[in-house]
Chain A
């Protein structure tokens, strides 16, 4: 069983990222279930999607994973990565972008949100966290709209390449080409090129990351 969670804030496109993974799983002939947050939580709140894939042809019963059972957490925002941490397996991979989104608050005395400190704290407690220079990538693409796809591509790339994830269930389960195919099948036609370019940008810059 492969479990992947995608954590972000309403509007960041975690549902689409989950759908793309589900599509890739289906092409493989695996059973797949996903879970999403819909409703009150969308109004600026945190949202998380889960994808569970029966890669050993086992039956997937529940759409939601248990604590400590997720192979890869893809965070679209560092604080949301920290929030989703309880789902991550002990040796699982957490990918986060560098930039954070400050929570909205009218409290003038609230401590400013420091995403870099969150990432440092996660690394310090031993989480295998891979940080993406999302600003550079999104600048290169000319939009932040494909951040979800970039983080997804990065996660698959790291888990496939980094020896630390040799026993990760997602390792080599989905290739970059399979990801590309799933993107083509899932996104609106006019956005296909943008999203495929996003994947290419991630791969080109991959060597600059500490993976």
Chain B
């Protein structure tokens, strides 16, 4: 046992290992990726005995693989981000009916904000839709305790269980006690039984079993430590912070409050909002002390198990309350439950929250917002005005951009140039996808016209040409996304004869989420080497008849490749191959020859490379040598030979063939 400084996700990995998890799988996605990486690291160090851990090709593959392991009695861990559960949902919905033998925990990270996601969907809703229990931690420590309990619940009731932290819990760090070594629980292996086969008749029975167990789980939840209730009273002239002195949440039933301290106001919080509420109450107490305002006690409840809702516990909580304010991110899940409860028990309390417009409807909660909302709710003569200064000076915006030297920049420029050279009537539609390359939508590249979900660029392009057959629709897909969810789309294009051009941006990694390997790299999460899956061979097998390979940083070849593929009638593909800058050492930076420069500005205005900026005074590009990777793309595109890459031979005498054609 040692106290270690861990990020939430690292801590959760250790909690699962300590619970004896045996088979772990998932697909990378912020904010969930570090969990499996931590397990793989512990495995590599020989600290996690008997564990199998893998990045699967996508979430659905991961969960189905784990289902097999769970049928065989192993404790399993599935990880993904919230939208990843959409992909795995087909498996999850039925898995709950079939049931599991070994404890099965789905770690699904939600992303309020959203900070790096395409939706603000709420996995608590998914849990109730799938009729699967869900835990919602407020802190990394609590999340660890929940994961261990989740395995017990899963095995006791043969149900998959979801643990859904949010970004701020996943990426918060603190010191946590972890076991130095762990041992996976042995599994007895697969035993044949008709229950593993889902048939309508069996489903009907299973639905009854689910309906029977959910109230039992709700009762367990009502009695568990994750739904604490306490009375927060504020000492009138206490020097010390009274909310702070109560480390352990006090159960209201165990407490005999003085009669003037019987609260009529309740506050309910889920997830990290619970931590914010505690902080906000601290701020309110301090403000009240300074303003000599008396505060009456409030009753506070955290709901750490939103589904099945711990109604008995909540009923205890609402006793004597006149009004309740609910703080939660994403959907109004808890708010709905307290409204329902009021109806069920004919309670007189009112419920305040997202539905009444009194709390934040979308995006993240903050301590500040919650403090202001509580002050209004409690009708206190206090103000948060003047807390926090605002800089009286413009602050430079720093939107995320493709890295200096990113090969995707070359691919986008090549396709854009090829289309421009083919004339106005070929104005292309750029169907983008999920990954670093979504950043291609930013100026000056402007080469992402659509982005929906993993793999959708390929199929959206087909719909666009179905409506407008003369439109050139180009679909961009990363190598990892191709294997995760691109292949069925390609099959559809070939089968239904959609004339699209697929551009595979093969940078040999899953870059966006921190350089994870994938089937095309041949390397697994634990570092085993297999024969890499060939994108070319897959495309050929799927019936794509025109496939061209090019280096996206060699502008001439890259443009030619795009032109040939786009000009081909029928589904075609360009595979641009060049590694992500995170995988390779930078080369000597590009050199600038002032005498050769004609001040055309193209290098800066067309590339958007963060290593290049424009010197307005001297009218020439400036190279940030600390950022430049010497990728050579700007040298390729400078038709005047003013930029030269020392390590990219013959790059200076190769001008961009259609650099003048591209005036868009």
B601 and A117: CB pair below 8 A? no
A35 and B171: CB pair below 8 A? yes
Q: Which of A35-90 contact B (CB under 8 A)?
A: 35-46, 58-59, 61-69, 79, 82-83, 85-88, 90
Contact of B604 among A40, A69, A108, A125 (CB under 8 A): A108
Q: For residue B606, which residues in chain A have a CB less than 8 angstroms away from its CB? A: 106
Q: Is A204 an interface residue (CB 8 A)?
A: no
Chain A-chain B contacts (Cβ-Cβ < 8 Å), number: 170
Which residue in chain A gives the minimum CB-CB distance to B276?
A62
**In terms of DSSP, what is the predominant structure of the interface of chain B?**
loop
Which residue in chain A gives the minimum CB-CB distance to B615?
A112
A64 and B366: CB pair below 8 A? yes
Contact of B610 among A22, A40, A44, A82 (CB under 8 A): A44
Which residue in chain A gives the minimum CB-CB distance to B604?
A106
- The docked-state distance in angstroms from the alpha carbon of A22 to that of B609 is 36
Which residue in chain A gives the minimum CB-CB distance to B436?
A43
The smallest beta-carbon distance between B633 and chain A, in angstroms, is: 14
- The docked-state distance in angstroms from the alpha carbon of A41 to that of B605 is 23
Q: Is A130 an interface residue (CB 8 A)?
A: no
Q: For residue B259, which residues in chain A have a CB less than 8 angstroms away from its CB? A: none
A61 and B116: CB pair below 8 A? no
The smallest beta-carbon distance between A30 and chain B, in angstroms, is: 10
A64 and B174: CB pair below 8 A? no
The smallest beta-carbon distance between A65 and chain B, in angstroms, is: 8
Which residue in chain B gives the minimum CB-CB distance to A83?
B395
- The docked-state distance in angstroms from the alpha carbon of A41 to that of B439 is 12
Q: Is B30 an interface residue (CB 8 A)?
A: yes
B367 and A66: CB pair below 8 A? yes
Q: For residue B398, which residues in chain A have a CB less than 8 angstroms away from its CB? A: 9, 44-46, 103
Q: Which of A19, A64, A104 has the most CB of B within 10 A?
A: A104
The smallest beta-carbon distance between A117 and chain B, in angstroms, is: 7
Q: Is B3 an interface residue (CB 8 A)?
A: yes
Contact of B395 among A37, A40, A44, A82 (CB under 8 A): A82
- The docked-state distance in angstroms from the alpha carbon of A20 to that of B371 is 30
Q: Which of B272, B367, B402 has the most CB of A within 10 A?
A: B367
B367 and A62: CB pair below 8 A? yes
- The docked-state distance in angstroms from the alpha carbon of A102 to that of B611 is 10
Spot the interface stretch: B52-60, B94-102, B382-390.
B382-390
The smallest beta-carbon distance between A68 and chain B, in angstroms, is: 4
Contact of A35 among B168, B241, B392 (CB under 8 A): B168
Contact of A67 among B368, B396, B443, B444 (CB under 8 A): B368
- Contact status of A61 and B400, CB under 8 A, knowing A68-B387, A108-B601, A108-B604: no
B115 and A39: CB pair below 8 A? yes
Q: Is B279 an interface residue (CB 8 A)?
A: yes
A45 and B387: CB pair below 8 A? no
Q: Which of A113-138 contact B (CB under 8 A)?
A: 113, 117-118, 121-122, 124-125, 127
A40 and B400: CB pair below 8 A? yes
B244 and A59: CB pair below 8 A? yes
- Contact status of A64 and B367, CB under 8 A, knowing A22-B5, A40-B115, A106-B444: yes
B173 and A36: CB pair below 8 A? yes
Q: For residue A113, which residues in chain B have a CB less than 8 angstroms away from its CB? A: 396
The smallest beta-carbon distance between B602 and chain A, in angstroms, is: 10
Q: Is B616 an interface residue (CB 8 A)?
A: yes
The smallest beta-carbon distance between B19 and chain A, in angstroms, is: 24
Contact of B393 among A31, A33, A45, A117 (CB under 8 A): A117
The smallest beta-carbon distance between B421 and chain A, in angstroms, is: 21
The smallest beta-carbon distance between B576 and chain A, in angstroms, is: 19
A103 and B605: CB pair below 8 A? no
- The docked-state distance in angstroms from the alpha carbon of A83 to that of B171 is 21
The smallest beta-carbon distance between B126 and chain A, in angstroms, is: 21
Contact of B388 among A45, A67, A117 (CB under 8 A): A67
Q: Is B175 an interface residue (CB 8 A)?
A: yes
Contact of B275 among A9, A58, A62, A106 (CB under 8 A): A62
Q: Is A156 an interface residue (CB 8 A)?
A: no
A43 and B403: CB pair below 8 A? yes
Q: Is B31 an interface residue (CB 8 A)?
A: yes
Q: Which of B116, B396, B400 has the most CB of A within 10 A?
A: B396
Q: Is B391 an interface residue (CB 8 A)?
A: yes
Q: Is B377 an interface residue (CB 8 A)?
A: no
Q: For residue B439, which residues in chain A have a CB less than 8 angstroms away from its CB? A: 43
Q: Which of B430-444 contact A (CB under 8 A)?
A: 436, 439, 443-444
- Contact status of A44 and B393, CB under 8 A, knowing A104-B613, A112-B616: no
Contact of A86 among B3, B390, B402, B443 (CB under 8 A): B390
Q: Which of B391, B400, B439, B608 has the most CB of A within 10 A?
A: B391
B610 and A104: CB pair below 8 A? yes
- Contact status of A86 and B389, CB under 8 A, knowing A79-B395, A104-B401, A106-B604: yes
Q: Is B278 an interface residue (CB 8 A)?
A: yes
Q: Which of B590-613 contact A (CB under 8 A)?
A: 601, 604-611, 613
- The docked-state distance in angstroms from the alpha carbon of A22 to that of B608 is 38
A22 and B391: CB pair below 8 A? no
Show 16 residue pairs from A and B whose CB-CB distance is below 8 angstroms, ordered by the A residue.
Answer: A9-B398, A39-B31, A43-B400, A44-B399, A44-B403, A46-B398, A58-B244, A61-B275, A62-B279, A64-B366, A83-B391, A85-B388, A85-B390, A86-B390, A103-B398, A108-B601
Closest 7 A/B residue pairs (Cβ):
A67-B388, A104-B610, A121-B393, A68-B387, A39-B116, A63-B172, A68-B388
Which residues of B are interface residues toward A (Cβ below 8 A)? Answer: 3, 5, 7, 30-31, 115-116, 139, 168, 171-175, 241, 244-245, 247, 272, 274-276, 278-280, 283, 366-368, 371, 386-393, 395-403, 436, 439, 443-444, 512-513, 601, 604-611, 613-614, 616, 626
Which residues of A are interface residues toward B (Cβ below 8 A)? Answer: 9, 18-19, 22-23, 26, 31-46, 58-59, 61-69, 79, 82-83, 85-88, 90, 102-108, 112-113, 117-118, 121-122, 124-125, 127, 144
